[in-house]
């Protein structure tokens, strides 16, 4: 559980990918997401995954992205089984299952290398409403907090004799109530406290609050952006022609 929670938490790293402008990271992520969606053969999906893992290695988050993808493997197996049962061939079912992993990997790349602050700047750059930006960024910030809460709640309930690993499937589902109820309650309490704290710090007092930082594209960001678009266009043509 600890290692799983760790996989979803953004951590600063000294890597060329982390140092990029978040808009460039978003661009790369969208490109990879598109490639994942249109990959229809084993070669296509292999190329897409290879690029995802190469970027993850460059960002020094290979282990963490591996953990994230391991977490999605269960759904992937489900996709494979369902597609196979409805009549698709083994290869098509396999590609569809791996495609799901690639989609998650491409989006994870962005979230694991972009801090919530950077995410906020990107959303503001897109001129999204302040309330929407705040709600989204807060939700992202709270994912690791909720994961850690869940771990503490599990520890507390295990200490009261709750054995999550025992019993049949139905019993195991029932045993989740002592975990989920305190998790929801603490999340609601925390959101109420956060709302009050934000209001106490004049949130919403002005329509367009100023920002301490502004996004600036450096030469390196522009070069990486142009390079990624060029490679993306070439691969896209190759995928569509194949």
Question: Which residues would be at the binding site for another protein (CB under 8 A)?
Answer: 2-3, 6, 149, 152-153, 155-163, 177-178, 181-182, 185-186, 189
Instruction: Give the torsion through C-alpha atoms of 6, 110, 43, 224, to 10 deg.
Output: -130
Least separation, in Å, of the C-beta of 21 and another protein? 28
The least distance separating another protein from the CB of residue 23, rounded to whole angstroms, comes to 30
**Rounded to whole angstroms, how far apart are CA atoms 149 and 182?**
9
User: Contact 189/142 with Cβ under 8 angstroms?
Assistant: no
Shortest distance (Å) from residue 119 CB to another protein: 23
b/e map of 198-208 (b: 16 or more CB within 10 Å)?
eeeeeeeeeee
Residue 9 or 50 with smaller CB distance to another protein: 9
Tell me whether residue 112 is exposed, middle or buried, using C-beta atoms within 10 angstroms of its C-beta: 0 to 12, 13 to 18, 19 or more: buried
Alpha-carbon separation of residue 180 from 16, 87, 136, 171, 234 (angstroms)? 39, 37, 22, 15, 47
The residue (of 177 and 233) whose beta carbon lies closer to another protein is 177
Residue carrying the six token digits 């929407």? 132
Length of the chain: 242
Shortest Å distance, C-beta 110 to another protein: 22
Q: Please, which residues have CB within 8 angstroms of residue 44's CB and are 6 or more apart in sequence?
A: 35, 38, 95, 239, 242
Report the residue number, 23 or 190, with the smaller CB distance to another protein.
Answer: 190
Considering beta carbons, is residue 23 or 175 the nearer one to another protein?
A: 175
Provide, rounded to whole angstroms, the least separation between the CB of residue 145 and another protein: 13
Q: Based on CB atoms, which residue is closest to another protein, 2 or 213?
A: 2
**Least CB distance to another protein at residue 123 (A):** 29
- Between 7 and 49, CB nearer to another protein: 7
Burial class (CB within 10 angstroms; exposed 0-12, middle 13-18, buried 19+) of 22 = buried
**Nearer to another protein among residue 118 and residue 149 (C-beta):** 149
CB of 155 to another protein, least distance (A): 5
């Amino acid at each position: 559980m600890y290692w799983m929670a760790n996989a979803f938490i953004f951590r600063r790293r000294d890597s060329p990918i982390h140092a990029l402008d978040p808009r460039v990271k978003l661009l790369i992520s969208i490109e990879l997401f598109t490639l994942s969606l249109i990959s229809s053969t084993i070669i296509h999906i292999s190329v897409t995954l290879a690029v995802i893992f190469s970027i993850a290695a460059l960002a020094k988050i290979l282990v963490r992205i591996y953990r994230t993808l391991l977490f999605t493997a269960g759904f992937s197996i489900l996709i494979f089984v369902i597609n196979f049962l409805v009549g698709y061939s083994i290869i098509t079912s396999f590609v569809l299952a791996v495609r799901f992993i690639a989609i998650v990997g491409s989006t994870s790349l962005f979230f694991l290398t972009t801090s919530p602050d950077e995410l906020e700047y990107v959303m503001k750059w897109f001129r999204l409403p302040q309330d929407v930006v705040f709600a989204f960024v807060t939700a992202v910030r709270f994912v690791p907090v909720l994961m850690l809460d869940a771990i503490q709640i599990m520890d507390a309930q295990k200490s009261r004799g709750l054995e999550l690993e025992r019993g049949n499937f139905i019993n195991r589902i029932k045993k989740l109530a002592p975990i989920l109820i305190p998790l929801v309650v603490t999340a609601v309490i925390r959101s109420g406290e956060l709302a009050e704290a934000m209001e106490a710090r004049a949130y919403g007092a002005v329509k367009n609050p100023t920002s301490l930082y502004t996004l600036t594209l450096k030469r390196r960001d522009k070069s990486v952006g142009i390079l990624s678009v060029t490679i993306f266009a070439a691969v896209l043509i190759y995928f569509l022609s194949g």
